Structure 1
Amino acid sequence: MALLECRGHGLTEKPTVGGIYTVIQTKSKITVDEWGENYYMMGPYFEHNFKTQVEGCEPPNPAIRMAMDALIHNGCQVHFGRWLIEGSPYVILFDISSAAWNLDRWKEDLWQTCSIGLPYHDREANDSLILGSLIAWFFKELTDQLGDKPNVIGHFHEWQAGPGLILSRSRKIPMATVFTTHATLLGRYLCAGNIDFYNNLDKFNIDKEAGDRQIYHRYCLERAAVHCAHVFTTVSQITAVEANHMLHRKPDVVTPNGLNVKKFSAMHEFQNLHATSKARIQEFVRGHFYGHLDFNLEKTLFFFIAGRYEFSNKGADIFLESLSRLNYLLRVHRNDVTVVVFFIMPAKTNNFNVESLKGQAVRKQLWDTAHSVKEKFGKKLYDALLKGQIPDMNSILDRDDFTIMKRAIYATEVLNPFSDCSVYSKQ
Structure 2
Amino acid sequence: MPKKSRSTGLFPKALLLEVAWEVCNQVGGIYTVIRSKAPAMTDRANGPFCMVGPFLNKNILAELEPLDDSQDVFGQTAAVLRKRGYDVQYAEWLITGKPRVVLLNPNAIEDKALEVVKYLLWKNHGVNSDNASPLINQVIGFSYLTKLFIDEVVKLRGDQPIIAHFHEWMAALPILDIRRDNLPVKTVFTTHATQLGRHLAINSPFFYAHLPFFNHQDESKKFGVVTEEAIEFRAAQMCDVMTTVSEVTARECKHLLKRKPDAIVPNGLNIQRFEALHEFQNLHVQHKEDIHQFVMGHFFQSYTFDLDKTIYLFTSGRFEYKNKGFDLTLEALWHLNERLKREKADVTVVMFFVTKRDYYSIKPEALQSRAMMEEIRQTCEAIQKQVGKELFYASTTRPDHRLPELNDFVSDYWKLRYRRTIQSWKTNKLPLVVTHKLKEEDHDEILSFLVRRNLMNRAEDKVKIVYHPDFITSTSPLFGMDYSQFVRGCHLGIFPSYYEPWG
Q: TM-score range by the shorter chain?
A: 0.7 to 0.9
Partner residue, 2:90: 81
| 1:335 Cα deviation after fit | 4.4
Given the superposition, is the C-alpha separation of residues 311 and 390 from structure 1 closer, same or farther in structure 2, using an over 3 Å criterion? farther
What are the superposed Cα offsets for residues 151-183 of structure 1, whole Å, 9 maximum, x if unpaired? 211101121222201221233323321112232
**343, 357, 365: which one pairs with 1:354?**
365
Q: Residue type matched to 2:288 in 1?
A: K
Given the superposition, is the C-alpha separation of residues 49 and 371 from structure 1 closer, same or farther in structure 2, using an over 3 Å criterion? closer
Report the TM-score, using the length of structure 1 for normalisation: 0.75
Q: In the aligned structure 1, how far is the partner of 2:21 from the partner of 2:71?
A: 24
Partner residue, 2:33: 23
Partner residue, 2:228: 218
Q: In the aligned structure 1, how far is the partner of 2:421 from the partner of 2:154?
A: 74
Partner secondary structure for residue 304 of structure 1: strand
Q: In the aligned structure 1, how far is the partner of 2:47 from the partner of 2:160?
A: 13
- Please say if residues 359 and 417 of structure 1, whose CA atoms lie closer than 8 Å, have aligned partners that are also in contact: no
Partner secondary structure for residue 19 of structure 2: strand
Task: Say whether residues 1:65 and 2:76 are aligned partners.
Answer: yes
Given the superposition, is the C-alpha separation of residues 333 and 371 from structure 1 closer, same or farther in structure 2, using an over 3 Å criterion? farther
| 1:42 Cα deviation after fit | 2.0
What are the superposed Cα offsets for residues 290-348 of structure 1, whole Å, 9 maximum, x if unpaired? 37655321121111233455533543222212223433554566643321122334442
- Please say if residues 341 and 460 of structure 2, whose CA atoms lie closer than 8 Å, have aligned partners that are also in contact: no
- Whichever structure has more helix as a proportion of its residues is 1
Partner residue, 2:460: 425
| 1:409 Cα deviation after fit | 6.2
**135, 140, 143: which one pairs with 1:132?**
143
Aligned length: 416
Q: In the aligned structure 1, how far is the partner of 2:46 from the partner of 2:275?
A: 23
What are the superposed Cα offsets for residues 376-427 of structure 1, whole Å, 9 maximum, x if unpaired? 37974897699998636xx64466779987995697456421399xx94235
Partner residue, 2:321: 311
Partner residue, 1:276: 286
Task: Say whether residues 1:252 and 2:266 are aligned partners.
Answer: no
Q: In the aligned structure 2, how far is the partner of 1:355 from the partner of 1:235?
A: 39
- After the TM superposition, which of the residue ranges 113-122 and 164-173 deviates more from structure 2? 113-122
| 1:227 Cα deviation after fit | 2.2
- Please say if residues 299 and 338 of structure 1, whose CA atoms lie closer than 8 Å, have aligned partners that are also in contact: yes
Partner secondary structure for residue 324 of structure 1: helix
- Please say if residues 166 and 188 of structure 2, whose CA atoms lie closer than 8 Å, have aligned partners that are also in contact: yes
Given the superposition, is the C-alpha separation of residues 342 and 207 from structure 1 closer, same or farther in structure 2, using an over 3 Å criterion? same
What are the superposed Cα offsets for residues 118-159 of structure 1, whole Å, 9 maximum, x if unpaired? 315445444544443444455455446546x42211101121
- Please say if residues 201 and 242 of structure 1, whose CA atoms lie closer than 8 Å, have aligned partners that are also in contact: no
Alignment of 1:221-370 (within 5 A): 221-257=231-267, 260=270, 262=272, 270-290=280-300, 293=303, 295-328=305-338, 330=340, 335-345=345-355, 346-349=357-360, 352=363, 354=365, 357=368, 361=372, 365=376, 368-369=379-380
Given the superposition, is the C-alpha separation of residues 183 and 357 from structure 1 closer, same or farther in structure 2, using an over 3 Å criterion? same
- Please say if residues 56 and 81 of structure 1, whose CA atoms lie closer than 8 Å, have aligned partners that are also in contact: yes
- Please say if residues 17 and 165 of structure 2, whose CA atoms lie closer than 8 Å, have aligned partners that are also in contact: yes
Partner residue, 2:18: 5
| 1:187 Cα deviation after fit | 3.2
Given the superposition, is the C-alpha separation of residues 76 and 238 from structure 1 closer, same or farther in structure 2, using an over 3 Å criterion? farther
| 1:55 Cα deviation after fit | 0.8
Given the superposition, is the C-alpha separation of residues 414 and 176 from structure 1 closer, same or farther in structure 2, using an over 3 Å criterion? closer
Partner residue, 1:33: 43
- Please say if residues 90 and 102 of structure 2, whose CA atoms lie closer than 8 Å, have aligned partners that are also in contact: yes
Higher relative contact order, structure no. (Cα contacts within 8 Å, ≥ 6 residues apart): 2
Q: Over aligned residue pairs, what C-alpha RMSD do you find?
A: 4.6
Given the superposition, is the C-alpha separation of residues 99 and 326 from structure 1 closer, same or farther in structure 2, using an over 3 Å criterion? same
Partner secondary structure for residue 42 of structure 1: strand
Q: Which has the larger radius of gyration?
A: 1
What are the superposed Cα offsets for residues 49-93 of structure 1, whole Å, 9 maximum, x if unpaired? 686535133555459837974x678x4647462233223323334
Given the superposition, is the C-alpha separation of residues 76 and 170 from structure 1 closer, same or farther in structure 2, using an over 3 Å criterion? farther
Q: In the aligned structure 1, how far is the partner of 2:293 from the partner of 2:146?
A: 50
Q: Residue type matched to 2:91 in 1?
A: R
Q: In the aligned structure 2, how far is the partner of 1:402 from the partner of 1:2?
A: 69
Q: In the aligned structure 1, how far is the partner of 2:303 from the partner of 2:114?
A: 61
Given the superposition, is the C-alpha separation of residues 370 and 127 from structure 1 closer, same or farther in structure 2, using an over 3 Å criterion? closer
Q: In the aligned structure 1, how far is the partner of 2:128 from the partner of 2:192?
A: 24
- After the TM superposition, which of the residue ranges 277-286 and 119-128 deviates more from structure 2? 119-128
Q: In the aligned structure 1, how far is the partner of 2:188 from the partner of 2:232?
A: 13
Q: In the aligned structure 2, how far is the partner of 1:325 from the partner of 1:236?
A: 32
Q: Residue type matched to 2:16 in 1?
A: L
Q: In the aligned structure 2, how far is the partner of 1:356 from the partner of 1:136?
A: 44
Q: Residue type matched to 2:387 in 1?
A: K
Partner secondary structure for residue 27 of structure 1: helix
Q: In the aligned structure 1, how far is the partner of 2:16 from the partner of 2:298?
A: 49
| 1:224 Cα deviation after fit | 1.1
| 1:279 Cα deviation after fit | 1.9
- Please say if residues 359 and 415 of structure 1, whose CA atoms lie closer than 8 Å, have aligned partners that are also in contact: no
| 1:352 Cα deviation after fit | 3.0
- Please say if residues 358 and 417 of structure 1, whose CA atoms lie closer than 8 Å, have aligned partners that are also in contact: no
Partner residue, 2:441: none
Q: In the aligned structure 1, how far is the partner of 2:120 from the partner of 2:130?
A: 15
Report the TM-score, using the length of structure 2 for normalisation: 0.65
Task: Say whether residues 1:152 and 2:162 are aligned partners.
Answer: yes
Partner secondary structure for residue 292 of structure 2: helix
